[in-house]
Amino acid sequence: MLKKIAKITGITLGVLLIAAFAIPYFFKDQIKARIEKALNESVNATVSFADAEVSLFRNFPKATVSIEKMAIINKAPFEGDTLVAFESLALKLSVMELFNDETEPMQVDAIATKNGLINVILNKEGIGNYDIALKKPDEKGAAEESKPLSFKIKSYEIENYRFRFTDQASNMKVVLDSIQHTGVGDFSNDVLDLDTHTSTNVSFSMDKANYMRNIPVSLDAILGLDLKQSKYSFKKNEAKINDLPLKFNGFIQLLEKAQVYDLTFETPTSDFKNFLGLIPAAYRSNIDNVKTTGQCSIKGFAKGQLTETSIPRFSVAIASNNASFQYPNLPKAIKNIHIDTKIVNETGQVNDTYVNLNRLSFAVDQDVFDAKATLKNIAENALVNAQLKGVVNLANFSKAYPIAVDKPLSGIIKADVSTEFDMAAVEKSDYARIKNEGEIDLTGFRYTDESGKTMDISKVLVAFNPSRVVLKEFKAKTGKSDLGVSGVLENFYGYLFRNQNLEGNFTLTSNQIAVSDFMTTEKAAQSETAKNKEPLKIPAFLDCTLTAKANTVLYDNLTLKNCAGKLIIKDQKVTLENVKTNIFGGQITFNGDVSTQTKVPTFAMDLGLNQVDIAQTFTQLEMFKKVAPIAGVINGKFNSKVQLKGSLNATEMTPDLKSLNGDLMGQLLSTTVNSNNSKLLQALDGQLKFIDLNKLNLNNLKTALHFENGRVTLKPFDLNYQDIKVSVNGSHGFDQTLRYGLTLDVPAKYLGREANALLAKLSPAEINALGTLPINATIAGNFTNPKVTTDLKAATTTLANRLAQQQKNKLVDKTKNEIGRIIDRNTKPGDTAKASSKEAVKNKAGDLLKGLLGKKK
């Protein structure tokens, strides 16, 4: 009996187990179809997902419905914009809930989703991309929204989401990044308490001005939810902005056409640490053990309705009087801190919001710093009024406030600046409505970076006036370099507040600039590259001109003298005009540009080289080494004009030699040749014994090269070696491979021993009568292992044939002349018949000799 029961039980469990595996498989397509049907009947958007499935094991005995890689893409007027996208969504629920009728709400125990994006957009007409619910006509023909999917959830979890809100009308952007959020509550009830835990990083910008950037915010709260009235009340809660603690009271209620706010908030304590908690962690150390005196209160409220035309009235007030703080590991304190700041809206109209920084002051030892400012009319045409006055001794300040530098700062900043303007005046450059005056003076500033390099700035003097910011003086030294800069910024406020281009005109002078002084060490560069692999870009906002002059510039292993020229930076391009420098015993001039407008940076350059040393140029400049590897082979000077362009490495901004293309026109001056330093010339010497290449005269030789796709093509040219004419053509690659041809017109006297044995019996006139013979040489292989072949043997054979023909003609002429003399002796004067007979005999004799000499021996 027991065996029978066990058998039945085993069979039953087996069937259930098989069913548990089989049901999700058999119903998978039905589940996907039901989800697609529900979504397509509910939303006016393009919905896609990679997969949907049911598991009876993941949360046994509950079922788990999973959706993978879903995206909801907007249709017009937001065509192509992503509204929602996520990697995964999982619903935990009873198996029986899967069989509910479409009209029945689905009882879901938990929802979990991760790695997602919610992208909300309001366009300039006030239409939101989130309004995607399909509208269906009711019984009277009026359109009504379709009913969304109905869920009754008990808990949910959101992991690593990004929420992005953009209001195109006000150019406002809010980003919540790395959202981690959980909520637990019984949504089967209309009134419930929801226990939530939230953390995120907040960024906020408006009209191209950044007010918050990645500020960490957290909220642990029990929210009272009244789902029928859409009312959400703050009960027990604790929030943090950076390390600033806040507590909230009141509620938010969602109505059909408005949101109702009745909130108050304040810091739970009045300790001055509350204010330090507002400072981002990147700009301060741990504040747990900081000693503070005095109080600081932060409190505010928001009360009213948020509609299309109004906002709630609100106030945020930060106040502190005669406070101080001191870090435990620093010798000095910051004292006499006074803060009186309010952000207020008393009418509910956005444009009536104003910011009053009535006072912000502090002292370090005897140095006092004061600032105050107001900002009004923020939505339409913001009005700014600010004053800044005081002294900051950086050496003392770094002993009172933790600044992230390896070595302490030094220097004294004196400021006395005031400004008053409106944004419309900035946009239109209406300087009559801009009131700026004052100066900022920095002396004795010393800074050491993470690689140990020190910058000493002896003097910076900046003056402010309505139309510009004037850099009256800038003097600095670092390493082997010294700098002196002066100039003006034409549009400082437009750049600062309206994201306009930063326009300027500067002059730089220097006795010596070592480029290495302004570059990071290899270790630091590798660290920076690891952090940021983005390609280098010339800033798009820069629109500046720099006229520079330096007596000496040290770059890598090069020493450039008397450098001068102009750099124009605009539209992500640096243009160089009339740049000149003395180097390699001559002068180089160049014009050109470097552009990062495209994904792969490009450059174009025209260079002029005047009487520069060949050995130095073709040894120390990588491009010239590739184009013409003649260093050590040809000595002397040369002139050249070079036009080239190509691509740059996007992270290092160095030329990609394979992309180079251009032309080089060159003229050699006062040159000598050393064939011993060239395996190519040695190989030619070995094949052409009659030429001593060390005696080759290349003075005033003009050549033209074209290089493209890693190959250099030589425009054919002629040169002379004594009385030998040489024609050269061909190409070589940046990889050093050779494809050259030479044609030499060689007089007979140079052609080897065999020929010389024959030629020795001839007179100079007879040798010259033989003419020149073409000898062809082909050069292949590469510069280190050249392969030279010639047709010298064929030329020698041709010479032998010419010589035989010459001797044959000589013998015929001699025989004819001898016969003529015999006939002359036997002919009387006036005997014309015999004279005619003489010529006939001479011709017959000549023909006979030619026939005999022409026969094969």
Whole-number pLDDT of residue 2: 41
CA atoms within 13 A on the CB side of 561: 6
With a cut of 80, say whether residue 133 has pLDDT above it.
no
Whole-number pLDDT of residue 717: 83
Cβ neighbour number for residue 407 with a 10 Å cutoff: 12
With a cut of 70, say whether residue 609 has pLDDT above it.
yes
Tell which wins on pLDDT, 597 or 694: 597
**What does the mean pLDDT of the chain come to?**
80
Residue 430: name the closest of 494, 482, 363 by CA: 494
Please write the tens of the pLDDT for every residue from 180-238: 999 998 877 888 898 999 999 998 887 666 777 888 899 999 999 898 898 999 998 98
The DSSP code sequence of 179-217 is: EEEEEE--TTSSEEEEEEEEEEEEEEEETTEEEEEEEEE
The DSSP code sequence of 803-820 is: HHHHHHHHHHHHHHHHHH
With a cut of 90, say whether residue 304 has pLDDT above it.
yes
Helix (H, G, I), strand (E, B) or coil at 512: strand
Phi–psi pair at 690, nearest 5 degrees = -85, 0
Structure tokens at 260: 């109702």
**Cis-peptide into 402, omega within 30 deg:** no
Please write the tens of the pLDDT for every residue from 557-595: 789 899 999 989 899 888 989 999 999 999 999 899 988
Query: How far, in Å, CA of 669 to CA of 612, rounded?
Result: 10
Whole-number pLDDT of residue 608: 92
User: Cα 798 to chain center, whole Å?
Assistant: 65
Residue 297: name the closest of 334, 339, 263, 267 by CA: 267
Residue 176 and residue 162 in contact, taking contact as beta carbons nearer than 8 Å:
yes
Cβ neighbour number for residue 19 with a 10 Å cutoff: 12
Query: How far, in Å, CA of 403 to CA of 410, rounded?
Result: 12
With a cut of 90, say whether residue 139 has pLDDT above it.
no
pLDDT band at 244 (very low <50, low <70, confident <90, very high): confident
Whole-number pLDDT of residue 832: 55
Structure tokens at 14: 């087996």
Q: What is the 3-state secondary structure (H, E, C) of 28-74?
A: HHHHHHHHHHHHHCCECEEEEEEEEEEEEEEECCEEEEEEEEEEEEE
Please write the tens of the pLDDT for every residue from 757-782: 666 666 677 666 666 778 888 888 88
Please write the tens of the pLDDT for every residue from 459-493: 999 998 887 889 999 999 999 999 999 999 887 77
With a cut of 70, say whether residue 34 has pLDDT above it.
no
Residue 729: name the closest of 718, 366, 87 by CA: 718
Tell which wins on pLDDT, 531 or 213: 213
Whole-number pLDDT of residue 282: 66
Whole-number pLDDT of residue 852: 44
Structure tokens at 824: 């002359």
With a cut of 70, say whether residue 837 has pLDDT above it.
no
Amino acid at 834: K
Q: Whole-model pTM above 0.85? A: no
The DSSP code sequence of 530-599 is: HH--PPP---TTEEEEEEEEEEEEEETTEEEEEEEEEEEEETTEEEEEEEEEEETTEEEEEEEEEE-SSS
Whole-number pLDDT of residue 487: 93
Phi–psi pair at 102, nearest 5 degrees = -60, -25
Structure tokens at 185: 């509550």
Q: What percent of the chain has pLDDT over 90?
A: 26
Q: Where are the domains of the chain?
A: 1-100+107-134+154-169, 172-241, 244-404, 407-417+428-517, 534-673, 690-790, 805-854
Lowest mean pLDDT among 297-306, 492-501, 558-567: 492-501
Whole-number pLDDT of residue 658: 81
Residue 372: name the closest of 382, 361, 358, 383 by CA: 358
Is the CA virtual torsion 198, 201, 207, 210 positive or negative?
positive
Residue 733 and residue 751 in contact, taking contact as beta carbons nearer than 8 Å:
no
Structure tokens at 731: 């190409």
Whole-number pLDDT of residue 23: 47
Residue 486: name the closest of 498, 501, 468 by CA: 468
pLDDT band at 9 (very low <50, low <70, confident <90, very high): very low
Q: Mean per-residue pLDDT for 96-111?
A: 68
With a cut of 80, say whether residue 315 has pLDDT above it.
yes
Residue 585: name the closest of 639, 665, 644 by CA: 639
Tell which wins on pLDDT, 553 or 746: 553
Structure tokens at 31: 């589940």
Q: Mean per-residue pLDDT for 54-64?
A: 68
pLDDT band at 94 (very low <50, low <70, confident <90, very high): low
Residue 841 and residue 820 in contact, taking contact as beta carbons nearer than 8 Å:
no
Tell which wins on pLDDT, 835 or 502: 502
With a cut of 60, say whether residue 6 has pLDDT above it.
no
With a cut of 50, say whether residue 642 has pLDDT above it.
yes
Q: Mean per-residue pLDDT for 89-97?
A: 74
With a cut of 50, say whether residue 3 has pLDDT above it.
no
Structure tokens at 619: 């040894």
Lowest mean pLDDT among 362-366, 822-826, 841-845: 841-845
Q: Mean per-residue pLDDT for 260-264?
A: 94
